[in-house]
């Protein structure tokens, strides 16, 4: 039977690499994977520091039971150029930082101790996509995803694909293709059995076929009582594939869903039902350790996108992301636009061939994820290249007939070889730098495509560098940031030719010196790097239904003198409530309705309180006696939520919120620290230092002394074994706050 176990513990790590010494046990620092080769400060660092080779080593004893079996190491991802040695012999190499690879140990293991040495070169090698020019994000270096030790019978299941055609028919079908691995070229004989199981684990169908070739196809029909995978109830089924040959038994389990996706000239449909796509782009990076946070942090990001930001789609800009992230998208019902590595630059023929291989590897890894609805098979924002993109499209369509292809561009009238035209439309704001039209949220489709017909079309980026906004920026700037997101979403909702819009971007990210604010950060997120929301986050969140969550976020720090000219008007209140009541000082309460005139197409336009609403300057102006204020949201005539502000905020408490208090024994957990005023609002201009002290079986990710950034800061703790972890946060005047987190092997989801 197959064994597939984590191979993450007990590595050593050292900078530099010497191929001549790959067979020697070298001095190194003990590390656990996922691991980043160079830990970076939060900002203002030299991003060239990781652009060089590093050595990872691990010693292990080959088990006597492995005799006669296939033994492989599976690397989920390592950046950027990896070479694997076993006992000094080079056995595998992989020149891509985002796709998985394997190293076959079979037949080369010796009795007793063996030594794995991995060279990782973090250099931005122009032969490897995305490198070759400048790119607006960091790629880091290291074995930053999990590594697995896999033991199988000599003939084993290499991959399986399940497709669910006609999901709208009363009785469902499924077609299955099983690919075998037979590296020893044994004569094939035996049986493949496929069992489909319901979410409760009951068998709903099974079928068998004899082994005749390296690919076995099976079909199921007449499947009754099937629940579809959709956003509200992402029902997951399981396919159990069992292979019985003379050489042994192998078994794999794959989750899948019954769902259909369609991009048409009048939008996107999930299971035949129109759905306007509302999303943000995600970079997979975190502060300090870059890409190197494991399963729990990946899952948490998906949860934030779906449950906090209320999105229905995420684009994995600009590369295939962790399968933990995609698994979670499957579980929670978050659609995914996944794309190959790259950023504007296309290299020579060999580079393009590597990119075509990335298409293959991405699709073959992820074709069973119901969350993935479209393949991005162009290098983001690259120029046309007919032969190259004809090939990426051909291959994608050959590998997967169920999903459309797309390719993300920013150049208008570029050649459409994909099924869906995807545009990064940064037109809003162009008027400020001499654009030849008044402020425009989005261009008409035909102007962008240059085609005389309408085609399936979506917006894959907007905002971003056109209006970088920091979590601690002035309220007025943040209000404009909010307005830009509102205007584009309103335009996308209002245009039936646009399947949806995915904004730039979810989270701030570290970048090269050529981009960002000089601090090596692109402050383009609607959340900062710790995933703390800026006001713009609530543009997205407020589009959900109040039955899901009532959202009420006045875009203000409620202070008299932060905006130019003072006051807080016009005041945007991001909300999905029917009405918002304002109470302040001695003024009679007053109710305001959402501004449908300005944002007719948004599911939930904001309320906007304008200067004209208070012509006598009795509210929200500079110079008035500043008063406390309460905003109350009403749904169906009933008060459902409140936002309250004090006129005289003072630092009152330090609140420490971990995302979870029970975690798995090697999980990372995010902890957010906020300095609050007496009403519980974050102090937006608080930059005082805090100390973070972690005891017990947990490691602090990043430094132990940091400053609050606009009243809050986050950090991650990675569990190193089971037990109780305590984090103590110290602030000079707000005192000490401790949190306890229990790590145990059993608590992992």
**Active site (catalytic) residues:** 381, 461
Q: Please tell me the distance from the alpha carbon of residue 592 to that of residue 597, in angstroms, as a whole number.
A: 13
Say whether residue 410 binds ligand GAL (CB under 6 A).
yes
**Calculated CA dihedral for residues 347, 350, 355, 357, nearest 10 degrees:** 180
Maximum Cα–Cα distance across the chain: 90
User: Residues 364 to 383: which contact ligand GAL by CB under 6 A?
Assistant: 380-381
Cis peptide bond upstream of 53, omega within 30: no
194 is written with which tokens?
A: 């496929």
Q: How many residues bind ligand GAL (CB under 6 A)?
A: 11
Residue closer to ligand GAL by CB (options 156, 460) is: 460
User: Sign of torsion, CA 243 246 247 249?
Assistant: positive
Residue closer to ligand GAL by CB (options 380, 392) is: 380
Cis peptide bond upstream of 505, omega within 30: yes
Task: State the minimum distance, in angstroms, from the CB of residue 131 to ligand GAL.
Answer: 15
Say whether residue 464 binds ligand GAL (CB under 6 A).
yes
612: exposed, middle or buried (C-beta count within 10 Å: 0-12, 13-18, 19+)?
Answer: exposed
688 is written with which tokens?
A: 């005082």
Give SS3 for 389. helix
Q: Please tell me the distance from the alpha carbon of residue 350 to that of residue 375, in angstroms, as a whole number.
A: 22
Question: Cα 307 vs. chain centroid, distance in angstroms?
Answer: 13
The residue from 461, 595, 667, 677 that contacts ligand GAL (CB under 6 A) is 461
Task: State the minimum distance, in angstroms, from the CB of residue 363 to ligand GAL.
Answer: 22
Question: Cα 119 vs. chain centroid, distance in angstroms?
Answer: 27
SS3 of 595-636: the string is CCCCCCCCCCCCEEECHHHCCCCCCCCCCCCCCCEEEEEEEC
Task: State the minimum distance, in angstroms, from the CB of residue 504 to ligand GAL.
Answer: 5
Say whether residue 467 binds ligand GAL (CB under 6 A).
no
CB 308 within 8 A of CB 543: no
**Which residues, in sequence order, are CB contacts of 108 under 8 Å at separation 6+?**
86, 87, 89, 91
Separation of first and last alpha carbons in the chain: 24
Task: State the minimum distance, in angstroms, from the CB of residue 49 to ligand GAL.
Answer: 22
Residue closer to ligand GAL by CB (options 80, 275) is: 80
Residue keyed to tokens 């191929």 = 19
Strand (E) or helix (H) holding 391:
helix 386-399
Q: At what angle do helices 323-332 and 349-366 cross, to 10 degrees?
A: 40
Say whether residue 249 binds ligand GAL (CB under 6 A).
no
247: exposed, middle or buried (C-beta count within 10 Å: 0-12, 13-18, 19+)?
Answer: buried
Residue closer to ligand GAL by CB (options 65, 514) is: 514
Segment interacting with ligand GAL, rule: CB under 6 A, options 119-127, 461-469, 664-672, 707-715 = 461-469
Task: State the minimum distance, in angstroms, from the CB of residue 96 to ligand GAL.
Answer: 19
CB 123 within 8 A of CB 52: yes
Say whether residue 298 binds ligand GAL (CB under 6 A).
no
Q: Please tell me the distance from the alpha carbon of residue 121 to that of residue 37, in angstroms, as a whole number.
A: 10
617 is written with which tokens?
A: 């300057």
Q: What is the DSSP letter of 64?
A: G
Binding mask 301-340 for ligand GAL (x = CB under 6 A): ----------------x-----------------------
Residue closer to ligand GAL by CB (options 100, 376) is: 376
Segment interacting with ligand GAL, rule: CB under 6 A, options 216-224, 459-467, 567-575, 730-738 = 459-467
User: Residues 413 to 442: which contact ligand GAL by CB under 6 A?
Assistant: 424
User: Residues 678 to 737: which contact ligand GAL by CB under 6 A?
Assistant: none
Residue closer to ligand GAL by CB (options 237, 291) is: 291
How far CA 531 is from CA of 282, 334, 534, 611, in Å, comes to: 11, 18, 9, 33
Task: State the minimum distance, in angstroms, from the CB of residue 316 to ligand GAL.
Answer: 12
Task: State the minimum distance, in angstroms, from the CB of residue 480 to ligand GAL.
Answer: 16
Alpha helices in 414-536 (DSSP H): 445-449, 475-494
- Residue 470 phi, psi dihedral angles, 5° rounding: -90, 155
User: Residues 489 to 528: which contact ligand GAL by CB under 6 A?
Assistant: 504, 524
Residue closer to ligand GAL by CB (options 72, 381) is: 381
Nearest-5° Cα angle at 522, 517 to 523: 90
- Residue 374 phi, psi dihedral angles, 5° rounding: -160, 145
705: exposed, middle or buried (C-beta count within 10 Å: 0-12, 13-18, 19+)?
Answer: exposed
* Polymer length of the chain: 749
Which residue lies nearest ligand GAL, judged by its C-beta? 464
Segment interacting with ligand GAL, rule: CB under 6 A, options 3-11, 356-364, 458-466, 478-486 = 458-466
CB 261 within 8 A of CB 268: yes
Strand (E) or helix (H) holding 302:
helix 295-303
Task: State the minimum distance, in angstroms, from the CB of residue 29 to ligand GAL.
Answer: 33
Segment interacting with ligand GAL, rule: CB under 6 A, options 114-122, 250-258, 460-468, 553-561 = 460-468
Residue closer to ligand GAL by CB (options 338, 562) is: 338
Nearest-5° Cα angle at 297, 291 to 299: 115
Residue closer to ligand GAL by CB (options 59, 383) is: 383
User: Residues 114 to 143: which contact ligand GAL by CB under 6 A?
Assistant: 136
Segment interacting with ligand GAL, rule: CB under 6 A, options 35-43, 270-278, 457-465, 629-637 = 457-465
The DSSP annotation for 336-356 comes to EEEE-S--S----HHHHHHHH
User: Sign of torsion, CA 523 528 529 531?
Assistant: negative
Residue closer to ligand GAL by CB (options 464, 684) is: 464
Residue closer to ligand GAL by CB (options 296, 422) is: 422
Residue closer to ligand GAL by CB (options 446, 465) is: 465
Residue closer to ligand GAL by CB (options 72, 461) is: 461
Q: Please tell me the distance from the alpha carbon of residue 185 to that of residue 295, in angstroms, as a whole number.
A: 36
Question: Cα 689 vs. chain centroid, distance in angstroms?
Answer: 30
The residue from 197, 360, 446, 465 that contacts ligand GAL (CB under 6 A) is 465
Residues lying near ligand GAL in the complex (CB under 6 A)? 136, 317, 380-381, 410, 424, 461, 464-465, 504, 524
């Amino acid at each position: 039977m197959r064994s597939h176990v984590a191979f993450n513990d007990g590595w050593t790590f050292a900078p530099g690499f010497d191929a001549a010494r790959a067979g020697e046990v070298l001095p190194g620092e003990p590390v656990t994977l996922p691991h980043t080769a160079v830990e970076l400060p939060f900002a203002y660092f030299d991003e060239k520091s990781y652009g060089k080779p590093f050595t990872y080593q691990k010693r292990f004893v080959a088990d006597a039971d492995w005799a006669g079996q296939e033994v492989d190491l599976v690397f989920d991802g390592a950046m950027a150029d990896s070479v694997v040695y076993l006992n000094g012999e080079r056995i595998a190499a992989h020149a891509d930082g985002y796709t998985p690879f394997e190293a076959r140990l079979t037949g080369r293991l010796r009795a007793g101790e063996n030594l794995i040495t991995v060279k990782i070169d973090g250099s931005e090698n122009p032969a490897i996509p995305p490198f070759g020019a400048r790119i607006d994000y960091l790629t880091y270096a290291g074995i930053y995803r999990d590594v697995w030790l896999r033991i199988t019978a000599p003939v084993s299941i290499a991959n399986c694909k399940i497709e669910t055609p006609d999901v709208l028919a009363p009785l469902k079908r499924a077609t299955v293709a099983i690919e075998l691995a037979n590296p020893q070229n044994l004569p094939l004989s035996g049986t493949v059995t496929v069992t489909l199981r319901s979410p409760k684990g009951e068998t709903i169908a099974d079928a068998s076929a004899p082994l005749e070739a390296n690919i076995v196809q099976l079909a199921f029909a007449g499947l009754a009582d099937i629940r579809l995978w959709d956003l509200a109830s992402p029902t997951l089924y399981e396919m159990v594939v069992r292979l019985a040959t003379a050489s042994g038994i192998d078994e794999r389990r794959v989750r899948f869903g019954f769902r259909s996706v369609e991009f048409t000239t009048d939008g996107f449909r999930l299971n035949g039902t129109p759905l306007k796509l509302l999303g943000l782009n995600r970079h997979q990076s975190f502060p300090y350790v870059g890409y190197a946070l494991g399963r729990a942090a990946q899952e948490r990001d998906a949860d934030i996108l779906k449950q906090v930001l209320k999105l229905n789609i995420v684009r994995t800009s600009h590369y295939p992301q962790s399968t933990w992230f995609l698994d979670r998208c499957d579980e929670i019902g978050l659609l995914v636009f996944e794309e190959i590595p790259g950023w504007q630059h296309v290299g020579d023929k060999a580079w393009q061939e590597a990119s075509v291989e990335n298409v293959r590897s991405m699709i073959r890894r992820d074709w069973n994820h119901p969350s993935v609805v479209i393949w991005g098979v162009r290098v983001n924002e690259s120029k046309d290249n007919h032969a190259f993109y004809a090939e990426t499209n051909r291959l994608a369509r050959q590998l997967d007939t169920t999903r459309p292809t797309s390719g993300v561009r920013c150049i208008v009238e570029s050649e459409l070889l994909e099924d869906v035209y995807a545009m990064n439309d940064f037109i809003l704001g162009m008027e400020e730098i001499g654009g030849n039209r008044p402020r425009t949220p989005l261009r008409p489709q035909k102007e962008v495509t240059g085609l005389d017909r309408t085609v399936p079309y979506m917006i894959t980026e907007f905002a971003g560098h056109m209006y970088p906004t920091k979590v601690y920026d002035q309220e007025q700037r943040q209000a404009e940031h909010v307005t830009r997101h509102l205007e584009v979403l309103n335009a996308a909702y209002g245009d039936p030719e646009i399947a949806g819009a995915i904004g730039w971007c979810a989270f701030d990210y570290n970048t090269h010196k050529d981009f960002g604010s000089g601090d090596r950060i692109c402050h383009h997120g609607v959340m900062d790097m710790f995933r703390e929301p800026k006001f713009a986050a609530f543009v997205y969140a407020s589009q959900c239904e109040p039955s899901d969550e009532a959202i009420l976020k006045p875009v203000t720090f409620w202070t008299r003198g932060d905006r130019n000219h003072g006051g807080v008007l016009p005041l945007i209140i991001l909300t999905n409530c029917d009405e918002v009541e304002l109470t302040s000082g001695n003024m009679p309460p007053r109710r305001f309705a959402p501004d449908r005139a300005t944002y007719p197409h948004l599911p939930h336009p904001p309320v906007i309180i304008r200067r004209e609403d208070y012509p006598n300057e009795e509210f929200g102006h500079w110079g008035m006696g500043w008063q406390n204020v309460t905003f109350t949201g009403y749904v169906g005539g009933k008060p459902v939520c409140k936002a309250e502000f004090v006129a005289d905020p003072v630092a009152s408490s330090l609140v420490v919120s971990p995302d979870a208090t029970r975690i798995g024994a090697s999980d990372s957990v995010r902890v957010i620290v906020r300095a609050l005023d007496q009403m519980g609002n974050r102090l937006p201009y608080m930059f005082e230092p805090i100390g973070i002290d972690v005891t017990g079986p947990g490691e602090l990710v990043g430094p132990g002394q940091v400053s609050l950034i606009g009243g809050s800061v986050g950090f991650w703790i990675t569990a190193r074994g089971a037990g109780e972890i305590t984090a103590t946060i110290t602030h000079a005047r707000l005192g000490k706050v401790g949190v306890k987190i229990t790590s145990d092997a059993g608590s992992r989801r």
